[in-house]
Structure 1
Amino acid sequence: MEILVLLLSYLLGSIPIGLWIARLYNIDITKVGSGNIGATNIQRNIGWGPALVVLAFDIFKGGLALYIGRQFGLTDFYLAACALLAVLGHNYSLFLKFKGGKGVATSIGTLLVMNPLIGLGTAILAVGIMYLTRFVSAGSMMGGIAAVMLLIYHGDPLWQIVTASGLALLILWTHRDNFKRLQSGTERRIGTPKDTPK
């Protein structure tokens, strides 16, 4: 049973809602802007409405993976695996030849189910940083790190700290190019003009 739930977690994460939403507008989102299927690239190339739909679904699928694991009574080890596999599914989707997004929204979804207080606090902090800096990448990376620190400070279970650490590392890895652009001053801010095709 555990293996089936883990596979389901990966498949849920793999659902490329951003790709499908963009197709409604006759756009292949993998070939415009950053090529990313997440809400940020959707917002820059299609608009806020579609981006919010993608954001909500990506959060939902991450939370659903962990929720299903809990309903089947999985141990903490397998719950951690469910969370990580959902995000890995988003980042390396089975439906996109193992390409995908950066896993931020899906990570938030898993955190909200794993520890609602920490998940909500992390989301608020990340959005606050994005608002102040107008850099989605900065808010995403700082949010990932903050989640780990908040769990440690709050004295939460070790499996939650380990899971959040894994999620933070994945976020930092998928944002490695963004980090370089932040250092060089070439990172795009929220609200920049529509991107051009690659």
Structure 2
Amino acid sequence: MLENFLILFSLLPFYLIGAFPSGYLIARLSGIDISSVGSGNVGATNVARTLGKRAGLYTLVIDVLKGVLAVLIASSLSDQSYYHALVTVAVVSGHCFSIPGKLKGGKGVATTLGALIFFFPTVIPVALAVFITVFVFSRIVSVASVAAALSLPVVALFLSTSDSVFWALVYMALLITYRHRDNLKRLVEGREKRFSFSQPQGSQGQNMKTSHYPTEH
């Protein structure tokens, strides 16, 4: 029991890595409170639509690196796949449920990608293919993100993997889908907007407080 407690306690730093509010801080450098603009989400898409593609790319890269860093550290601490699975769950959860509580965390896509690079890279090509295919035909990031996420455990079924890895992928797929629940609701209602690179940027961001955006990573 003590050993299990210590394992769970050791996951806290990885949760905090995931909770690092990269998008919020990048927007703050431009004098914008991203939590009060657009969807209020601190993910890369909301940052990109508010501050431009470069700021969105910076946010995306940092969010991916959070997942990479967490799994690299975990790999140096243990060679057990179940522990790597727990660390992946912790860092993605931290990204989705950020600290402080007033911030809306991201949708988990970018950090999941980063973690999978070292945690379970064999599923990435299929997930990326699903994302690109769905996005090309729909131009809706949320639909592509959810489709790619749901493909993860399906692909794992056809690969040699442990139960802990499989259930971690199931968790991430369900979490990403849950984080896109508002987008899916708008999709059903016909109000989910297609992605466009011609959205207002920079100084116009503060005028977009009531706008809705497809998804944030």
State the TM-score, normalized to the length of structure 1.
0.92
Partner residue in 1 for 2:152? 147
Instruction: Count the aligned residue pairs.
Output: 198
Contact 2:27/2:34 (8 A) holds in 1: yes
Give 4+ residue runs of structure 1 displaced > 6 Å after superposition: none
In structure 1, what residue type is equivalent to 2:199? P
Shift of 1:4: 5.2
In structure 2, stretches of 5+ residues that fail to align are: 1-5, 211-217
Task: Tell me, yes or no, if the aligned pair for 2:42 and 2:103 is still in contact at 8 Å.
Answer: no
2:199 is aligned with 1:193: yes
2:215 maps to which residue? none
Look up the match of 2:116.
111
More relative contact order, 1 or 2 (CA 8 Å, 6+ apart): 2
Of 55, 59, 66, 2:60 maps to 55
Q: Which runs of 5+ in 1 are unaligned?
A: none
User: In the alignment, what sits opposite 1:156?
Assistant: 161
The residue correspondences of 1:71-150 to structure 2 (distance < 5 A) are: 71-73=76-78, 75-97=80-102, 99-150=104-155
- How far 1:81 sits from its partner (Å)? 1.5
Aligned to 2:32: 27
Larger mean Cα displacement after TM superposition, 29-38 or 92-101: 92-101
What is the alpha-carbon distance in structure 1 between the residues aligned to residue 49 and residue 173 of structure 2? 24
Summarize deviations over 1:11-57 as a string: whole Å, max 9, x none: 10010000011111111111011101111111111111111111111
Of 30-39 and 127-136, deviating more is 127-136
What is the aligned partner in structure 1 of residue 171 from structure 2? Answer: 166
Aligned to 1:17: 22
Distance 1:181 1:148, change over 3 A: same
Mapped contact 1:65–1:110 kept (Cα < 8 A) = yes
Percentage of identical aligned residues: 35
The 8 Å contact of residues 18 and 37 in structure 1, kept in 2 or not, is answered as yes
Could you tell me how far 1:157 is from its partner in structure 2? 2.5
Task: Work out which of the two has the higher radius of gyration on C-alpha atoms and give 1 or 2.
Answer: 2
